[in-house]
């Protein structure tokens, strides 16, 4: 990696983005379905409102969703639901609900309902149990002009055998998707991988070299498979504890001569990290020194481990590595968006956000800089931003859907994380569901 | 008064911080071996030299301690009796200020002290740093607590009388400290006694005298008079003399159950010329169980158990020794744990990559190896022979009377037992003579409540590792044969080191309340 940061490209003329941001944002919003148009959507929205306004119930339901896969019998399901609702004593909705779950004859119906509810919720976010199972949902996206990236959910990797199994699933998925993609010209094959699943040794933040040594052989193999089948391999970012190891591993492997011509590959930049500016500099310097046949892709995300980072830092007496002010984080996202788009070409930019303002801002700046679909795509999480995804696709911009694949047990951690995000008080989606108007949503952070 | 906050841990996930730690280690190595004389009042006393070595590389001598004899113990106690008079009369705020200054000194030396614990105790960096931080925490926490205690407690007041209760130090306190938290526990017991107004004689573990001296030096430099704090390095002789001496009022001990019981017995005997009852504060062993319910998240259980059982090679009184696993998840957990043990790296404490460091000395190594050889392991980690290493080992399904199941091993050994229900698990915990720490992995609120009510342990940890108690957050200590339960790092600890005196004054004169 480069020691001295090199300056950015030529200085960029300041452009007035306010008007185009409003225009693009209003256009996108207009393409999303009205809440009243679909009755199931309305029920869902009411549920979402309820959870936002009732933290006790929210906590109880999250805990239930979390434990549901570990419940072996209907009685077990009902017992947990009942206990968790009982615990949420400050919630009148929960109190009312225990009136039902507490009745003895209610066990089976409640369990069935609760099990179905969790399953349905999971299916909204998870496209299938495995690659074959997920193919119909993925090809449906392809047909609508939407790209996909597949993320294989699984239990935590604590043994070498589990790491081997995850790597094998990744390989199978790459091959199955590549096979299916033959019938969909213009669409690509794209897999997102988690380094923490490729080795049990990433657990030691003070010894990143161990995680790197552990994951390198498996990731190298997957890079070869991806190259052979013409797929893109994207390395996901995880908690800050593992950031150094994931970054070093990815950049070092991609710098190996055999990968200069392929596969297409990328990494993630987390805008909620206060040091993300320097992280981007490292990535840009590396990309400059390692020209690739397929430009190195950088996916800009807000970051999904905010609570974890804040709690861990507070318990250890550290400064949190993340912005604790949401607007500051949003402003950083826009700054990084600009820097990325300024470097489009040598790198490929992916903007992963459900925030209408962030999306409109990236689109407006890309337009101003003449950066198009070849160098820029938007990314949306399956189940969370389906309307946004459809709207982006309808405006002719490139959009990719992040599609988790896995069974219910494996999907729970993911599901809980998404649910928390979706009903957090300051969540963009919550604001949207709460009926905030478009102009408000498009205000500069 | 400022509110207490734990000393921030080193952020070892950052490379720059790791490099600073390694620099400190290099600087320390250049100074080895250190010299640890006896400190008796104004006198720096030498004697027969006793080496403390690096468990990761036994050829490296970390320090030469000068072994205290019975005679030295008597001299130290005589000096402490004199020192006690002045120290106990000092305002509590002055004593607290000395402790706070000592904490500041430890802060400025924290990397050096962590490096010393790495070398002398074989503690891996994260654990060694936590040891330094806990030492600082104890000094600050007890300094603050002693000032609050000095204000006394409010009593019922009636017309015509004025009632007050205040706390005073008891007298000479003998502190007998262990090697496994060579900085923190020594600092904790010593500073609690000092803050409460007692003079102290410290007898540190013979394996870690240099760590103890670092704590004592900081306290002296912070303003604790030389005759209020004494250091007697060495073996059993001085410790036994301290326990038996009629001039000692309080004995604070952390160590094995066997030694703790001997101290309690010896201290109970009132000898001619002794005009007080000795108080013993004892933190002894554990045989700590983690209960795993059928609804536990095994993704959390595996790392939680690895950390609880094998970090610092299981040499913490709080370490997990038994896992009582619900039959519904027993096979899966056993398979995953067995695989996970194979990923643990056994190695020198100074290497950041090490998961399991060596044990403290060759005697410990041989003792633990005997337990390991007594049955067939389910899984075992790496073996090494260039230090006092013991492979991390997991047993499963041993008979209930196996020594591996019943005795405190104090090493990297975990026994898995299958239970049919949470009730059965709680009964098994109850049958143990120890009650120090315990763990529960469950996602059922009622199970958590049930176990909280039915477990006798002093510290129950739910859905997390069972080690790493923090000062002010997890007051530490257990009941049954695990100790006298004083709860170090908690709001009641200082009460062990004081006597309460109530004064009632009649305020009626000539029939008038004045």
B185-213 tens-digit pLDDT: 999 999 999 999 999 999 999 999 999 99
Provide the CATH number for the domain around residue A327.
3.20.20.220
> Taking CB atoms and an 8 Å cutoff, what residues of chain B touch A76?
295
To the nearest whole number, what is the mean pLDDT of chain B? 97
In a domain, A65, yes or no: yes
Share of chain B above pLDDT 90, in %: 97
Same domain, A178 and A301: yes
- Inside any domain, residue A44: yes
Instruction: For residue B294, tell me if it sits in a domain.
Output: yes
Instruction: Tell me, yes or no, whether A207 and A72 share the same domain.
Output: no
Residue A424 included in any domain: no
Q: Which residues of A touch B357 (CB under 8 A)?
A: none
* H/E run at residue B380: strand B379-380
Q: How many folded domains does chain A comprise? A: 2
Residues A185 and A213 in one domain: yes
Measured distance CA(B383)–CA(B347) in Å, rounded? 9
> Is residue A409 within 8 angstroms of chain B, CB to CB?
no
DSSP labels for A126-151?
Answer: --BSSHHHHHHHHHHHHHTT-EEEEE
* CA–CA dist B430, A409 (Å, integer): 34
Residues B200 and B92 placed together within one structural domain of the fold:
yes
The pLDDT, as a whole number, for residue A9 is 52
Give yes or no for residue A410 having a pLDDT over 80: no
- Please give the tally of structural domains in chain B: 2
Are B158 and B110 in contact by the 8 Å Cβ rule? The answer is no
**Is B8's CB within 8 Å of A206's CB?**
no
Last residue of a domain, one of A122, A148, A163: A122
Residue A87 sits at the chain B interface (C-beta within 8 Å): yes
**Residue A237 and residue A213 in one domain:** yes
Kindly identify which residue of chain B lies nearest to residue A320, measuring between CA atoms.
B11
Nearest-angstrom CA–CA distance, B502 and B164: 6
Residue B513 lies in a domain: no
- What is the pTM (predicted TM-score) of this model? 0.94
Distance between A18 CA and the closest CA of chain B, angstroms: 39
Mean pLDDT over residues A380-397, rounded?
A: 92
Clarify whether residues B123 and B256 are in a common domain: yes
Are B71 and B157 in a shared domain? yes
| Distance from C-alpha of A276 to C-alpha of A270, rounded to nearest angstrom | 6
Task: Give percent helix, percent strand, percent coil of chain B, each to the nearest 5.
Answer: 40, 25, 35
| d(CA A88, nearest CA chain B) in Å | 11
- Paired with A265 in beta bridges are A233
Q: Are residues B275 and B300 in the same domain?
A: no
- Pick the closest to residue A271 from A298, A308, A311 (CA basis): A298
3-state secondary structure of A367: helix
Does A428 map to a domain?
no
Work out whether strand A399-405 and strand B172-176 pair parallel, antiparallel, or are unpaired. Answer: unpaired
Whether residue B269 is found in the same domain as residue B313: no
Query: Which neighbouring-strand residues pair with A193?
Result: A235
On whether both A168 and A155 belong to a single domain, the answer is: yes
In a domain, A355, yes or no: yes
Domain with B43 in it: what CATH number?
3.40.605.10
3-state SS class at A235: strand
Is A96 in the same domain as A219?
Answer: no
The CATH number given to whatever domain includes residue B336 is 3.40.309.10
Residue positions of B annotated with a catalytic role = 283, 317
One domain for residues A327 and A185: yes
The gap from C-alpha B238 to its chain's centroid, in whole angstroms, comes to: 20
Same domain, B246 and B361: no
Is B452's Cβ below 8 Å from some Cβ in A?
no
Q: Exposed/middle/buried for A185, CB within 10 Å: 0-12, 13-18, 19+? A: exposed
Domain range for residue A53?
35-122
Predicted confidence band of residue A425 (pLDDT cuts 50, 70, 90): low
The number of residues in chain B equals 514
In a domain, B156, yes or no: yes
Give the tens place of pLDDT for each residue, B203-253: 999 999 999 999 999 999 999 999 999 999 999 999 999 999 999 999 999
B125–A317 CB contact, under 8 Å = no
- B471 belongs to a structural domain: no
How much is the pLDDT for A113? 65
Q: Are B112 and B28 in contact (CB under 8 A)?
A: yes
Average pLDDT over residues B371-376: 97
CB contact under 8 A, A80 and B296: no
**Residue A105 pLDDT grade (very low, low, confident, very high; cuts 50, 70, 90):** low
Q: Do A67 and B295 touch (CB under 8 A)?
A: yes
> Is residue A103 located within the same domain as residue A131?
no
More confident residue, A123 or A207: A207
In degrees rounded to 5, what are phi and psi of residue A380? -135, 145
List, for residues A308-359, the tens digit of each pLDDT value.
999 999 999 999 999 999 999 999 999 999 999 999 999 999 999 999 999 9
Burial of A184 (0-12, 13-18, 19+ CB in 10 A): middle
Separation between Cα atoms, residue B310 and residue B287, nearest integer Å: 14
Same domain, B121 and B203: yes
Residue B336 and residue B379 in contact, taking contact as beta carbons nearer than 8 Å: no
Examine the domain organization and report whether A102 and A136 are in the same domain: no
Q: What is the pLDDT of residue A104?
A: 56
Find the largest Cα–Cα distance for chain A: 72
Does the pLDDT at position A56 exceed 50?
Answer: yes
CB–CB of B116/B214 below 8 Å? yes
- Side-chain-side CA neighbours of B332 within 13 Å: the count stands at 16
User: Residue B286 in contact with residue B321, Cβ under 8 Å?
Assistant: yes
State the Cα–Cα distance between residues A80 and A83, nearest whole angstrom. 5
pLDDT at A5 (0 to 100): 44
Q: Report the range out of A29-38, A262-271, B265-274 with the highest average pLDDT.
A: A262-271
If asked whether residues B446 and B410 sit together in one domain, one would say yes
Asked whether residue A135 falls in the same domain as residue A247, the answer is yes
DSSP A69: G
Note down the domain range covering B266. Answer: 20-284+483-501
Q: Are residues B207 and B71 in the same domain?
A: yes
Chain-centroid distance of CA A149 in Å reads 10
- Quick one: B42 and B187 in the same domain? yes
Closest alpha carbon to B357 in B117, B182, B64: B117
- Model confidence pLDDT, tens digit, residues B348-367: 999 999 999 999 999 999 99
Query: Residue A67: pLDDT above 70?
Result: yes
B3 contact A CB<8A: no
Same domain, A107 and A177: no
B63, B113, B120, B65: which is closest to B358 by C-alpha?
A: B120
For A149-208, the pLDDT digits (tens) are 999 998 899 999 999 999 999 999 999 999 999 999 889 999 999 999 999 999 999 999
Kindly report the backbone phi and psi dihedral angles of residue A62, in degrees, each rounded to the nearest multiple of 5, phi listed first: -65, -45
Q: Nearest-CA distance from A409 to chain B in Å?
A: 10
* φ, ψ (nearest 5 deg) of residue A382: -55, 130
DSSP state of B252: E
**Interchain CB contact of A227 with B (< 8 Å):** no
Same domain, B356 and B495: no
B511, part of any domain: no
Cis peptide before A155 (omega within 30 of 0): no
Same structural domain, B280 and B293: no
Nearest CB to B12; choose among A67, A206, A210: A206
Indicate whether A36 pLDDT > 50.
no
**A&B contacts, CB < 8 Å:** 89
- All residues at 6 or more sequence positions from B343 whose CB lies less than 8 Å from its CB, including other chains: A158, A159, A160, A200, A201
Q: Which has more pLDDT, A183 or A222? A: A222
Q: How confident is the model at residue B2 (pLDDT cuts 50, 70, 90)?
A: low
Q: Is residue A139 part of a domain?
A: yes
Query: Has residue B4 been placed in a domain?
Result: no
Q: Residue A39 has what pLDDT?
A: 47
Residue B11 inside a domain? The answer is no
Q: In this structure, are A209 and A231 located in the same domain?
A: yes
Answer yes or no: is B45 within a domain: yes
Nearest by CB to B339, from A66, A67, A158: name it. Answer: A158
């Amino acid at each position: 990696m480069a020691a001295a940061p090199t300056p950015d490209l030529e200085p960029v003329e300041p452009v007035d983005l306010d008007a185009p941001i409003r225009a693009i944002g209003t256009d996108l919003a207009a393409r999303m379905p009205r809440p009243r148009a679909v009755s199931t959507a309305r029920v869902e929205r009411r549920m979402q409102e309820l959870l936002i306004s009732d933290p006790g119930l929210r906590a109880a339901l999250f805990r239930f969703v979390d434990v549901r896969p570990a419940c072996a019998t209907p009685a077990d399901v009902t017992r947990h639901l009942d206990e968790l609702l009982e615990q949420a004593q400050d919630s009148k909705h929960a109190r009312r609900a225990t009136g039902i779950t507490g009745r003895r004859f209610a066990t089976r119906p409640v369990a069935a309902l609760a099990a179905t509810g969790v399953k349905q919720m999971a299916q909204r976010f998870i496209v299938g149990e495995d690659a074959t199972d997920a193919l119909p949902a993925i090809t449906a996206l392809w047909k609508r002009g939407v790209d996909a990236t597949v993320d294989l959910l699984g239990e935590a990797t604590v043994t070498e055998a589990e790491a081997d199994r995850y790597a094998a699933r990744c390989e199978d998925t790459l091959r199955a998707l590549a096979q299916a993609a033959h019938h969909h010209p213009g669409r690509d094959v794209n897999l997102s991988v988690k380094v923490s699943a490729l080795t049990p040794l990433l657990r030691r933040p003070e010894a990143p070299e161990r995680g790197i040594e552990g994951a390198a052989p498996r990731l190298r193999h997957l890079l070869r498979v991806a190259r052979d089948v013409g797929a893109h391999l994207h390395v996901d970012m995880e908690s800050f504890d593992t950031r150094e190891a994931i970054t070093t591993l990815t950049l070092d492997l991609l710098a190996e001569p055999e990968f200069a011509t392929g596969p297409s590959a990328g990494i993630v930049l987390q805008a909620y990290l206060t040091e993300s500016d320097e992280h981007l500099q490292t990535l840009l310097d590396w990309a400059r020194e390692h020209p690739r046949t397929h430009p190195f892709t950088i996916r800009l995300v807000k970051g999904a481990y905010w609570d974890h980072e804040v709690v861990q830092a507070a318990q250890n007496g550290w400064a949190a590595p993340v912005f604790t002010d949401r607007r500051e984080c949003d402003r950083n996202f826009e700054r990084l968006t600009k820097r990325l788009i300024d470097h489009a070409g040598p790198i490929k930019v992916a903007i992963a956000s459900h925030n209408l303002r962030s999306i409109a801002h990236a689109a407006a700046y890309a337009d101003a800089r003449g950066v198009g679909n070849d160098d820029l795509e938007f990314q949306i999480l399956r189940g969370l931003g389906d309307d946004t995804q459809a709207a982006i696709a309808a405006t002719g911009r490139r959009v990719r859907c992040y599609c988790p694949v896995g069974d219910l047990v494996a999907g729970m951690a993911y599901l809980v994380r998404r649910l928390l995000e979706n009903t957090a008080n300051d969540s963009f989606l919550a604001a949207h569901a709460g009926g905030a108007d478009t102009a408000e949503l498009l205000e500069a952070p | 008064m400022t509110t207490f906050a734990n000393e921030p841990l080193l952020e070892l996930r950052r490379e720059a911080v790791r490099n600073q730690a390694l620099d400190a280690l290099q600087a320390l190595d250049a100074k080895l071996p250190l010299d640890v004389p006896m400190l008796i009042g104004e006198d720096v006393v030498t004697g027969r030299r006793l080496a403390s070595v690096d468990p990761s590389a036994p050829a490296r001598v970390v320090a030469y301690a000068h072994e205290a004899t019975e005679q030295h113990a008597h001299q130290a106690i005589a000096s402490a009796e004199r020192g006690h008079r002045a120290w106990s009369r000092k305002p509590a705020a002055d004593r607290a200020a000395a402790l706070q200054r000592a904490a500041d000194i430890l802060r400025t030396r924290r990397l050096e002290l962590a490096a010393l614990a790495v070398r002398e105790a074989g503690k891996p960096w994260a654990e060694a740093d936590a040891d330094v931080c806990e030492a600082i925490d104890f000094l600050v926490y007890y300094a603050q607590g002693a000032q609050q205690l000095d204000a006394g407690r409010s009593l019922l007041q009636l017309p015509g009388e004025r009632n007050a209760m205040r706390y005073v130090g008891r007298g000479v306190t003998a502190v007998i400290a262990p090697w496994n938290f060579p900085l923190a526990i020594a600092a904790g017991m010593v500073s609690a006694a000092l803050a409460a107004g007692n003079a102290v004689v410290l007898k540190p573990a013979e394996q870690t005298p240099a760590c103890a001296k670092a704590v004592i030096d900081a306290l002296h430099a912070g303003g604790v008079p030389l005759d209020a704090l004494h250091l007697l390095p060495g073996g059993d002789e001085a410790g036994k003399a301290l326990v038996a001496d009629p001039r000692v009022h309080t004995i604070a001990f952390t160590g094995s159950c066997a030694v703790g019981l001997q101290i309690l017995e010896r201290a109970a005997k009132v000898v001619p010329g002794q005009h007080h009852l000795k108080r013993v504060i004892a933190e002894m062993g554990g045989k700590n169980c983690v209960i795993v319910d059928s609804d536990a998240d095994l993704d959390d259980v595996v790392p939680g158990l690895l950390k609880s059982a094998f970090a610092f090679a299981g040499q913490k009184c709080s370490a997990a020794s038994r896992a009582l696993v619900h039959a519904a998840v027993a096979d899966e957990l056993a398979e995953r744990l067995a695989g996970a043990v194979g990923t643990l790296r056994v190695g020198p404490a100074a290497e950041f990559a090490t998961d399991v460091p060596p044990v403290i000395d060759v005697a410990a190594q041989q003792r633990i190896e005997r337990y390991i050889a007594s049955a067939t392991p389910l899984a075992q980690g790496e073996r090494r022979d260039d230090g006092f290493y013991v492979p991390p080992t997991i047993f499963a399904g041993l008979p209930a009377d196996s020594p591996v199941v019943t005795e405190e091993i104090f090493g990297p050994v975990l026994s898995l037992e299958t239970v049919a229900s949470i009730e059965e698990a709680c009964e098994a915990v109850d049958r143990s003579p120890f009650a120090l720490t315990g763990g529960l992995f469950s996602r059922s609120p009622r199970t958590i409540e049930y176990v909280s009510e039915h477990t006798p342990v002093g510290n129950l940890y739910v859905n997390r590792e069972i080690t790493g108690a923090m000062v002010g957050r997890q007051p530490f200590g257990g009941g049954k044969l695990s100790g006298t339960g004083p709860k170090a790092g908690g709001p009641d600890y200082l009460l062990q080191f004081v006597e309460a005196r109530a004064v009632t004054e009649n305020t009626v004169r000539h029939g008038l309340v004045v």
